[in-house]
Amino acid sequence: MINTKEQLGLRIRFLRQQKGFSQEEFAFRAHINKNYLSDLENGRRNPTLDILNRLVLALEITLSELFKGIIEYY
């Protein structure tokens, strides 16, 4: 089963690609390291609220839109 970090990573990648941003361009716009972005997209990192805010600002979306469709199963 896919975990929450992996779901979030897939969502970030989908939204980035939908905007037509490369990882490098998106990382620059979000003021984060490209390797960190890669780790996020691959579900290897747990982003802070500050990082999440940077991502949504770069994507020009809301936090609720970022998390749309992400479900945690217990």
Kindly list the domain boundaries of the chain, sorted by start residue: 4-66
pLDDT of residue 50: 98
User: For residue 13, what are the CA distances in angstroms to 19, 39, 69, 74?
Assistant: 10, 11, 14, 24
**pLDDT by residue (tens digit) across 11-59?**
999 999 999 999 999 999 999 999 999 999 999 999 999 999 999 999 9
How much is the average pLDDT of 58-73? 89
Q: Is the predicted pLDDT of residue 74 greater than 60, yes or no? A: no
pLDDT given for residue 72 in this prediction:
65
Sign of CA dihedral 56, 60, 65, 71: negative
Q: In Å, how far from its chain's centre is CA 14?
A: 9
- Please tell me the class of the 4-66 domain: mainly alpha
Q: Is the pTM of this model over 0.95?
A: no
Q: 2 by DSSP, 3-state: which?
A: coil
Among 11, 30, 25, 20, which Cα is nearest to 71's?
Answer: 11
